[in-house]
Amino acid sequence: MGFAAQRFNVNLSILFTELPLLERPAAAAAAGFGAVELWWPWVGSPTPERSELDALKKAIEAAGVRLTGLNFYAGQLPGPDRGALSIPGEESERFRANIDVAAGFARSLGCTALNALYGNRVEGVDPAEQDALALENLTLAARAADEIGAVLLIEALNKPESPRYPLVSAPAAVEVVDRVNEATGLGNARFLMDLYHLSMNGEDLPSVIERYASRTGHVQIADNPGRGAPGTGSLPLADLLDGLRKAGYDGWVGLEYRAGDRPSGSAFDWLPVEQRAAR
């Protein structure tokens, strides 16, 4: 069944980026989608002005799309930074300042998934110190997510593109999920299974699906090589998503790929319009 059995949303931080942020929700709706997700949109500010938050909320509501996923503040994405919560000093403090802001924005739009990127290793800092800080901050984030009825997502990235990021395998990310759940007792930390990142790490994707589908709170896709739309690379994405469905995953699948040198609105020809409108 592959693509036909899935609920898709569009990541507005990697698609429709040729448009200003406030125009992207309407563009996604015009392409037929009923749901969107976002990285933290204000790269330089974990605590933007209320007017900026309100303007984005209004744009999402006016477009008639649902916000299904939101990242906590994570520094510069895409770019050299990969998360903030495990980085001692100012970045960790910025992450903490963002927790209630991001959770409040998510609550205002009924968003039920918050993604917390772990953060790069820092030269001269003991990894154990970073891991302790990460657990402390992830515990705070999990509790904030629980208060709004959301899950906290923990994501593995890929080593070629993020060589200083420590969670570059499914087992490494799931181990952190387990630590957070043990620390909070809430059970709302979940694995974010990004099939592109895992494929870049050379993981056996059917095996990952078999082992971790039940621990997964969100899925993201892009083809490999190239991080383009399904069909532009060699990943059997329809088969992999079918495997996820058979393993019991019935959540959202985020489209987190690059449109390339064409407008984003033309980068969905692989997906029939009638399969885009889930809310």
Q: Give residue-wise pLDDT tens across range 205-256.
A: 999 999 999 999 999 999 999 999 999 999 999 999 999 999 999 999 999 9
- Beta-sheet strands, E only, within 64-135: 66-71, 113-115
Check 37, 91, 203, 256 and give the catalytic one.
Answer: 256
Q: What is the pTM of this model?
A: 0.96
Q: Compute the Cα dihedral for 117, 41, 96, 54 and give only its sign.
A: negative
Q: Assign domain 2-275 to a CATH class.
A: alpha beta
- pLDDT for 1 equals 45
**How many Cβ atoms sit within 10 Å of the Cβ of residue 20?**
9
- pLDDT for 3 equals 81
- pLDDT for 80 equals 66
Tens digits of residue pLDDT in 51-88: 999 999 999 999 999 999 999 999 877 666 679 999 99
- pLDDT for 5 equals 72
Say whether 155 is catalytic: yes
Rounded mean pLDDT of 98-103?
98
Tens digits of residue pLDDT in 235-244: 999 999 999 9
The rounded distance, in Å, linking the Cα atoms of 25 and 222 is: 20
Give the torsion through C-alpha atoms of 200, 204, 208, 209, to 10 deg: 100
Say whether 210 is catalytic: no
Which of 70-84, 121-135, 263-277 shows the lowest mean pLDDT across its residues? 70-84
Tens digits of residue pLDDT in 154-194: 999 999 999 999 999 999 999 999 999 999 999 999 999 99
Check 93, 155, 161, 175 and give the catalytic one.
Answer: 155
